Amino acid sequence: MDRLVKADVKEVNLTFTRGQKSTATFRLTNLMHTMSVAVSLSTTNPSSLSFPNPFSILPPLSTSSFTLHLSSDHPPLSSPPDTILVRSSMLPTGKAHQDDLRRLFSKPGAHIFKDATIPISLVGPHVIESLFSPPYNKSLEVSFLLSKAISGCDESEIMNLLRSATGFGNSYFVSALIDAGADINHRDSNGQSVVSLAVQSGNIDSVQVLIESGFVIDHSIDRFLHDAAAINRADLMKLLFLGFGDIDVNSIDSQGRAALHVAAIHGHVEVLRFLVSMGGNPDAVDYNRWTLLHCAASEGHHEAVEFLLNCSMFVKYAVNEDGKTAFALAVEKGYSHLYDMLHLGDALQRAARIDDVHAMKSCIAEGVNVNGKDQNGWTALHRAAFKGRIESVKTLVSNGAQIDLLDDGGYTPLRRAVEGGHMQVAIYLMAHGAKANVVKSNGSLKGFEMVPFNLDCIKNHPSLVTTPLC
């Protein structure tokens, strides 16, 4: 005979519930027909897993239940798992005190039978939640621990765990829970999907798993591009466009805002650039008539404002439902670093055109970029020279205007002055270093043989003989 008792299970599943006493029960049967048996129960982890009464007596052919107790606030996960050791010994008298039984099993020998070694599996959703966190989430044995823990979860618990896994951003757990039967197309009471949670967590692998597992997008609810825009993840957006071929780059939320609005609010230029390249509308407005530029300017995002102005030079004049431009919003918030791009540059150009030297000096005092360009690449000096505004030209040059900047047509201010027939301005510019032979060639400055006008004609013009050069 190799054993005296038999367990009714090959494995004990203990459901761990955080904050509550966790127990598991199994039964042992005495196989002896005429003799009582003493039983000893112990575990490989006595500090956490134990029996209130480790010693007991089973009458002949009787069966008794035994309860394993977990005394830890955290599941004592291990691989291989902890085990229960069942030992027995014949007890002819059928009676003994606990101290007697303790002494009996403390002495090794042939009278002690090792009847069973029973693995202990910790199961339930709280066990899986513990696996989400270090050190378990990077353990080589996590696959074994997870498969055991899932066996103690029902359908709703598995679904809730999937939502948690996507929030943690662990694609391995996402895959395992999907394999265990989680419904990837389930939505919560607010209509939020697990893909939305995965995108918000920024885990591109989890998003990939969910897409490949057959998630079906609902264009009336899902705003994945908005979620990705909020966390500055153009890479996630690329995956979403590949995974959902019909996703709408200009879809709007309950406020009428596109993903572009979200990117503008956060100042995420890489996302703005990507969405525009995918057909996003840089002139989009929400239900309150806020443009992307309004959103970026109201948050003080310099680089985003600059990018949006390059997308549309006229959006700076758009007003929201309160009648405010992006410049007005920047002024309200005190974002003076945006004044030049949103307003002062235009004001300087306007002043140069009408020769309003006082307004020009005011703009310069407020910090305008004197060499800022309009949508045609014209600086204020180009405009003043073309219009023949000699006082404006002098003011601009004395305040740092670059003489030989090229506009988008490849023309310098001097070339524009001659084009407008303003010889006094032309001579002033040449006296201050303007080159008569500068043109644009493949984006660089090079000399060329044919000068744009006859210098001798200027120097010998009777009306300019007495004109001072400075």
Three-state secondary structure call for residue 314: coil
Residue with tokens 């305008």: 368
Identify the pLDDT of residue 283: 93
CA 409 to CA 465: how far, in whole Å? 31
- For 315-371, give the DSSP string: GGG---TTS--HHHHHHHHT-GGGHIIIIIHHHHHHHHHHT-HHHHHHHHHTT--TT
Res 444 pLDDT > 60: no
Backbone angles phi, psi at 451, to 5 degrees: -70, 155
Range scoring the smallest mean pLDDT among 226-230, 363-367, 410-414? 363-367
Residue 403 reports pLDDT greater than 70:
yes
Task: Give me the phi and psi of 449, to 5 degrees please.
Answer: -75, -40
How much of the chain is in helix, strand and coil states, percent to nearest 5? 40, 15, 40
> How is residue 60 written in tokens?
């002949």
**CATH architecture entry for 5-126:** Sandwich (2.60)
Average pLDDT taken over every residue of the chain: 87
Return the DSSP state at 462: G
Contact 183, 215 (CB under 8 A): no
* Residue extents of the structural domains in the chain: 5-126, 154-218, 340-464
Residue 26 DSSP symbol: E
| Contact criterion met (CB below 8 Å) for 114 and 85 | yes
Alpha-carbon distance values, 75 to 82, 145, 384 (Å): 11, 11, 78
CATH of region 154-218, choose from 3.40.50.620, 1.10.10.10, 1.25.40.20, 3.65.10.10: 1.25.40.20
Q: Say how many C-beta atoms besides its own lie within 10 A of residue 248's C-beta.
A: 12
pLDDT digits (tens, 9 = 90+) for 91-104: 988 899 999 999 99
For the CA atoms of the chain, what is the radius of gyration? 40
Confidence of residue 136 (pLDDT cuts 50, 70, 90): low
pLDDT at 381 over 90: yes
Could you give the CA distance from residue 437 to residue 457 in angstroms, rounded to a whole number? 16
Which residue from 239, 242, 278, 241 is spatially nearest to 260, judged by alpha carbons?
A: 278
Average pLDDT over residues 295-307: 94
The Cα-based distances of 211 to 182, 185, 239, 451 in angstroms read 14, 10, 9, 63
Which CATH number, 3.10.50.40, 3.30.70.890, 1.10.730.10, 1.25.40.20, labels domain 340-464? 1.25.40.20
* Span 2-54, pLDDT tens digits: 899 999 999 999 999 988 899 999 999 999 999 999 999 999 999 999 999 99
Q: What is the DSSP string of 239-251?
A: HHHHH-TT--TT-
CA-to-CA distance for 195 and 265, rounded, in angstroms? 23
**Equal fold, 154-218 vs 340-464:** yes
Q: pLDDT category, 62, cuts 50, 70, 90?
A: very high
Most confident of 225-229, 308-312, 364-368: 225-229
Give, in order, the Cα–Cα distances in Å from 319 to each of 91, 255, 278, 315, 327: 95, 17, 26, 9, 10
- 242-299: per-residue pLDDT in tens? 999 899 999 999 999 999 999 999 999 999 999 999 999 999 999 999 999 999 999 9
Q: Kindly report the pTM of this predicted structure.
A: 0.68
Total residues belonging to the chain: 470
Give CA 383 to chain center in angstroms: 45
| pLDDT given for residue 344 in this prediction | 66
Sort 457 into a burial class: Cβ within 10 Å, 0-12 / 13-18 / 19+.
exposed
Q: How many DSSP H helices and E strands does the chain contain?
A: 22, 11
What pLDDT was estimated at residue 324? 93
Q: Could you count the other beta carbons within 10 Å of the beta carbon of residue 90?
A: 13
Residue 95: helix, strand or coil by DSSP?
coil
The dihedrals phi and psi of 411, each to the nearest 5 degrees, come to -105, 145
* pLDDT for residue 451 is more than 70: no
Q: How far apart are CA 223 and CA 236, in angstroms?
A: 13
Distance, CA of 455 to CA of 436 (rounded, Å): 8
User: What span, in angstroms and rounded, lies between the C-alpha atoms of 70 and 20?
Assistant: 10
d(CA 328, CA 339): 9
Q: Residue 197: what residue type?
A: L
- The secondary element (H helix, E strand) that includes residue 128 is helix 125-131
Instruction: Work out the pLDDT band at 372, boundaries 50, 70, 90.
Output: confident
